[in-house]
A and B are shown apart, each in its own frame.
Chain A
C-alpha cells in the first residue's frame, strides 16, 4: 500500500500523559498536513509542513501540541499533558505542492 499511513490507529491514555503519533506520507509528496476531527464535524486544520519546514500553525494548536518532520519524510505529532478535550481523530494528509491532499486512516485518541 503506497498511501498515507498513520500509527497507532487507536490510543487510549489517561489525562496528563503525553502521546505521540506518527504519519508516513506518500513517498514523493513534499507537503504534509495534520488535521483534527471530532464526531460529526469535518476535519480542522492544525499545521502543515513543506519538506522539513513547518510553514503554518492553526490557532487550534496550543502550546501543548508540537509537530516535527525532521527529514522531510515522516512526521510526528506530540500532545503533552493530555486533556479530555484532546479526544478526537487526528488525521494526516499529504500532497504535492498545490495539489490534492490525500488522507491517512487517522489515529483515534481517547483521553480518560
Chain B
C-alpha cells in the first residue's frame, strides 16, 4: 500500500550546522503535510505544515520544502541546537481521509 517513509533513520550534526531531514511520500493525492518533533517520552509536537499548493514554507529556524514532482518533502533546521535532538516524523493527509499517515521517523542527534 501507499505510505510515508523516510530516507535516513539517523542523522548526526554539529551544533550550529544546518540539518536537513528528508521524507518520501507515495500517495500522489496527498495535499497536506506536517512535520512533528518527538522527544523521548513525550507526544509529537507540531513544527510546521505545508499544503500542496505551496512548495516552500518558513517558520522560525525551520523551512519545509515540498517537491510534488518527485513526491519529496524535507525539513531544514537552521543553526541546529542541542534542544533540537529528537525524532522527527513527517505525516501526510489526503482528501477524504482524516487521520494522518506517519512514517517511521528520523532521529536527529546534535553534537555539541
Contact = CB atoms under 8 A, between A and B. Distances in A.
B99 A45 contact: yes
B45 A42 contact: no
Contacts of A43: 44, 89, 100, 102
B36 interface: yes
B42 A42 contact: no
A31 B91 CA distance: 18
DSSP class of A's interface residues: helix, strand, loop or mixed? strand
B43 interface: yes
B104 A106 contact: no
Contacts of B105: 40-42
Nearest to B48: A100
Contact of B43 (A58, A100, A106): A106
Contacts of A56: 98-99
Nearest to A46: B99
A3 to B, nearest CB: 9
A104 B49 contact: no
Nearest to A55: B98
B104 A41 contact: yes
A46 to B, nearest CB: 9
Interface in B70-112: 89, 91, 98-105
A7 interface: no
B46 A42 contact: no
Contacts of A91: 43-44
14 contacts: A33-B99, A41-B105, A42-B103, A43-B102, A44-B102, A45-B100, A56-B98, A91-B44, A100-B34, A101-B34, A101-B46, A101-B100, A104-B43, A105-B43
Interface of B: 4, 34, 36, 41-46, 49, 89, 91, 98-105
Given A42-B104, A43-B100, A101-B100, 6 more contacts: A4-B43, A41-B104, A43-B89, A45-B101, A101-B34, A106-B42
Interface of A: 4, 6, 31, 33, 35, 40-45, 48, 55-56, 58, 91, 93, 100-106, 108
